[in-house]
A and B are shown apart, each in its own frame.
Chain A
Amino acid sequence: MKLLVPIKRVVDPYAKVRPLGDGSGVDTTGAKFEINPFDEIAVEEAVRLKEKGVATEIVVVSVGNSSCEDQLRKALAIGADRAILIETDAILDSPAVASILKEVVESESPSIVLMGKQATDDDCNQVGQMLAAKLGWPQATFAAKVEVNGSVATVTRETDSGEQVVSMSIPAVITTDLRLNEPRYVALPGIIKARSKPLEKRSATAIPGLKTTITAVELPPARPPGRRVGSVQELATAIKERGGI
């Protein structure tokens, strides 16, 4: 069984980023880049499925410029078998990425596409669902547990009010939530071994036109500075005065 794991290169989610001076976008100068943490959870889950004997091959794919090679190598170090970079400098939105990934799925024929529920830069939470729809595949988003038995995937999904267990025939798209697993630490031998794993560069046959464009980026309005109070009585009085209760 082949698994395809799309990964996105994002600014380190713990780094402080600001809008560009002219407000036209995000200033990523000097920023450190990582695999989108939710995608890293997907890579880890794929590797665990392989270790359990469920999966036989893990292919990771990224869409973007040549710098994405760093994140693909990291995914190979975690345990993916080979990597594909769909190389483009174009600005892409979720529908465009989903269309490009659909081509990759059609050429690779994986049984499951496993990917993060959202990227920590644009926080869109769209690509997995759009890809499933374009392929006509079932999906299970917000996965907290994944089990694959023969041709059936059983997924425990996080919901607004608790959990839901769903089952579906593969092929299918599964998007990962935080509590699915904790990605392993990759030691040096894994990183060295990853250098010799295959990384293939392809160009997308056509870059789809954009349906959404970011025209400006700004900081949200700052809250006025707060006040420290010295006692519980003072706190209760201030809460009442300010209409909190």
Chain B
Amino acid sequence: MSKLLIVAFDASDATSSVGFANALSLPYDVLLLSGSSTACGAEKMSSANLTSLPAADGLAKALKEFATGYSHIASPSSMRSKDVLAYLAGLLDTGVVTDAIGVISPTTFRRPIYAGSMTATVEVVCNPVVITFRPSNFPKLEGGANGSEETVSLAIDTRVTIVSESSKGSARPDLSQAAIVVSGGRPLKDAATFESVIGGFADALGAAVGATRAAVDSGIAANELQVGQTGKVVAPNLYIAAGISGSTQHMAGIKDSKLIVAINTDTNAPIFDAADLGLVGDLFSVLPELQRELKQ
């Protein structure tokens, strides 16, 4: 019998998986690795209560034991899910669908290739099917109460020691979940300017902060803020690109946003082709004024 196991690294993974699980139309259980149980319509919610996430090899081995009997194993796309689930697929001698953006059938999925410039239909002929999916491409649904709840203990056997972990632990909303994202590029000059101009604007609107690869590479913004094919994929209600030219790499990460706004001094910047609303102007004068207008 077909059944889906959602591997949720935290509670927000669990709630953002409901849309995908519904699109797959299979009964589903959730294995919640860390955090408190949350209502997401699972037949069974198993909480592992891990206080810190072990390295991929150890987690994948534990998942292999836990996932016996499931036809599908899936997680929202993230660096950690790609790290662990592909290792798990290697242990299970099966295949993975990375970054699914659509479900055609339980064995046929749609996913972006070539930095999102094309969409491939992928048919899987293996069991179980391992999938990472982009929650923003599936409807936001409330899952309702879980059928049953249990706590489980995962035996972790890893050969990797985690020496240290640094998280910038920002008070701002999470990039991949935020309703509004404001991103900046290289014209922000330096880290302090980026923080005051982009960060200040974001805080005024309760928005998340993003950055281009160029801004990250030149040390203006932290690497976890990078939006694009090799960074985070965002799909907010409102995406404001300030001083961003609009490389293919960056566009791949924002094209599912509902409303894209571009502010750039270069009237020929490619970002204007993709933006729903464009304003030719200097972000340093436009952003403060826009902030006042939007707050009115």
Contact = CB atoms under 8 A, between A and B. Distances in A.
A122 B217 CA distance: 24
Given A138-B57, A165-B163, A129 B83 contact: yes
A206 interface: no
Contacts of A177: 230
A132 B57 contact: yes
A232 B289 contact: yes
Interface string B44-58: 000000000001110
B275 A216 contact: no
Nearest to A10: B114
Contacts of B286: 232, 235
B122 interface: yes
A144 B55 CA distance: 16
Contact of A218 (B90, B119, B272): B119
Given A123-B229, A131-B90, A244-B237, A226 B272 contact: yes
A238 B240 CA distance: 13
A139 to B, nearest CB: 6
A219 B93 contact: no
Interface in A113-131: 120-126, 128-131
Interface stretch (A60-68, A92-100, A185-193): A92-100
Contacts of B87: 129-130, 132-133, 139
B90 A134 contact: yes
A90 interface: no
A153 B229 CA distance: 28
Given A94-B95, A138-B158, A163 B237 contact: no
Contacts of A224: 276
Nearest to A144: B223
A69 interface: no
B39 interface: no
Nearest to B162: A166
Contact of A158 (B57, B79, B86, B93): B79
A159 interface: yes
A141 B237 contact: no
Interface stretch (A71-79, A80-88, A207-215): A207-215
A130 B95 CA distance: 9
A162 B96 contact: no
Interface string A88-111: 000001110010000000000000
Nearest to B117: A17
A210 B55 CA distance: 28
A140 B93 CA distance: 20
Interface residues of A, number: 79
A179 B223 contact: yes
B25 to A, nearest CB: 20
B275 A226 contact: yes
Contact of A228 (B80, B83, B113, B280): B280
A220 B255 contact: yes
Contacts of A151: none
B120 A162 contact: no
A26 B114 CA distance: 10
A32 to B, nearest CB: 14
- Select the residue from B60, B108, B122, B232 with max chain A CB neighbours within 10 A: B122
Interface of B: 55-57, 60, 78-80, 82-83, 86-91, 93-99, 108, 112-126, 158-169, 180, 205, 213, 216-217, 222-224, 229-230, 232, 237-238, 255, 258-262, 272-281, 286, 289-290, 293-294, 296
Given A137-B159, A162-B168, A162-B222, 5 more contacts: A130-B89, A138-B57, A166-B160, A226-B278, A235-B279
